[in-house]
Amino acid sequence: MTETPGTLLAALRAEPPLVQCLTNYVAMNIAANVVLAAGASPAMVADIEEAEEFAGIAGAVTVNIGTLSETFVAGAKAAIAGAGAAGRPWVLDPVACQATAYRRQVAADLVALGPAIIRGNASEILSLAGEASQGQGVDGRDPVTVAEDGARRLAKESGCVVAVTGAVDFVTDGVRSVRIEGGSPLMPMNTALGCSLTCLCGAYAAVAGDPFDAAVGALAHFAVAGTRAHGKAEGAGTFGPHFLDALQAVSPEILDAEAIINNVGEVTS
Ligand SMILES: Nc1ncnc2c1ncn2[C@@H]1O[C@H](COP(=O)(O)OP(=O)(O)OP(=O)(O)O)[C@@H](O)[C@H]1O
Ligand SMILES: Cc1ncsc1CCO
Ligand SMILES: [Mg+2]
């Protein structure tokens, strides 16, 4: 990997990318703070009147369907068109896409528009891959390992990098795959950290040449910061501020030294 997580973090901090985040009402503030603490510049610009124009000046766009509406979808499609016209990557977070017919339809429509990265929990990725999912609402209820084959297939069929998060994360482009260890069981007890990670994937994608390296970089940054914050937190409540501190404190050197990234090997058939 030429673009190590630390190399990408150094690039991100040298020239903080503007990341246009179309996210849900729950995540809005948390995700903006996460992106800022990591070193990039978030902007929650989502309305159809300006989303396309704004994407023309953003380094990347992220789309999260957590609090879905027709208005949101119109703004998202405008932003995606703007990113496409500007030659910039966009990232999809298919929140609870298994839950309703409307979510399944919108998620499938958005995958067809060609995100560079899809980031979701295992229940969401299983559903997108057309497999049975134990998920109900926004929280993942399947182990990541169960979603790995589906993630590989989804990546191959869609041409996207697929990042599945949970206790041990999995990233694949359909051929290359890695598992990333670290983080904390307190992370899923803090709402919208996955949504925030999707926005950070946008920040890394803005500075990376390869969306696979971008996804690995963002997930590794979360994993290293999560492990560090776990050692300081007293529980779910104090984890949040320690996590923001850790995202900021992780330097490019620390990131490359502490990231636990295991190659799963190439699947070419
Ligand atoms: N049990 C765990 N141990 C360590 N890290 C975890 C664990 N569960 C989740 N994480 C980490 O938490 C972060 C968010 O992933 P998660 O799968 O919880 O997202 P999500 O379900 O989409 O969250 P949300 O929808 O609430 O934003 C990732 O960095 C992931 O690695
Ligand atoms: C709780 C919640 N509901 C819709 S989106 C969201 C944030 C976590 O995905
Ligand atoms: Mg989520």
pLDDT, tens digit (0-9, with 9 covering 90-100), for 205-247: 999 999 999 999 999 999 999 999 999 999 999 999 999 999 9
Q: 5-263 adopts what CATH topology?
A: UDP-N-acetylmuramoyl-L-alanine:D-glutamate ligase (3.40.1190)
Residue 269 — very low, low, confident or very high, per pLDDT cuts 50/70/90? low
In whole angstroms, what is the distance from residue 102 CA to residue 95 CA? 12
Closest residue (by CA) to atom 5 of ligand 2? 66
Q: Could you list which residues have their CB under 5 Å from ion ligand 3?
A: 95, 194
Banded model confidence at residue 1, pLDDT cuts 50, 70, 90: low
Q: Contact, 45 vs 20, CB < 8 A?
A: yes
Best of 29, 63, 106, 138 for a ligand 2 pocket test (most atoms within 8 Å of beta carbon): 138
Model confidence at 2, in pLDDT bands (50, 70, 90)? confident
Q: Is 158's C-beta closer than 6 angstroms to any atom of ligand 2?
A: no
- ipTM of this model? 0.99
Residue 199, class by beta-carbon neighbours within 10 Å (0-12 exposed, 13-18 middle, 19+ buried)? buried
Q: Dihedrals φ, ψ of 37, to 5°?
A: -60, -35
Q: Which is the closest atom of ligand 2 to the Cα of 95? A: 9
User: Could you tell me which of 166, 151, 162, 75 has the C-alpha nearest to residue 118?
Assistant: 162
Q: Is 23 in the pocket of ligand 1 (CB under 6 A)?
A: no
Binding site per annotation, positions for ATP: 119, 165
The predicted model gives 5-12 an average pLDDT of 98
Nearest alpha carbon, ligand 1 atom 2: 167
Q: Is the CB of 187 under 6 A from ligand 1?
A: yes
222 contacts: CB under 8 Å, gap ≥ 6: 182, 183, 187, 193, 197, 200, 247
Q: What confidence tier does 268 reach under pLDDT thresholds 50, 70, 90?
A: low
Domain ranges of the chain: 5-263
* 3-class secondary-structure state, position 243: helix
What pLDDT, in 10s, does the model give residues 87-143? 999 999 999 999 999 999 999 999 999 999 999 999 999 999 999 999 999 999 999
Strands 177-181 and 260-263: antiparallel
Distance 191 CA to ligand 2 centre (A): 7
Going by the DSSP 8-state scheme, the letter that residue 84 receives in this structure is H
Q: Could you tell me the two tokens for 189?
A: 């007890």
3-state percent breakdown (helix, strand, coil) of the chain, nearest 5: 50, 15, 35
Sign of the dihedral defined by the CA atoms of residues 152, 154, 159, 163, in that order = negative
Is residue 267 over pLDDT 80? no
Cα 229 to averaged position of ligand 1 atoms, centre (Å): 14
Q: What is the chain's mean pLDDT, rounded?
A: 97
Task: Please work out whether the CB of residue 192 comes within 6 Å of at least one atom of ligand 1.
Answer: yes
194 ligand 1 Cβ < 6 A: yes
Residues 6+ apart with CB under 8 A from 39: 9, 12, 13, 16, 203, 248
Compute, in angstroms, the gap from residue 228 CA to the centroid of ligand 2: 25
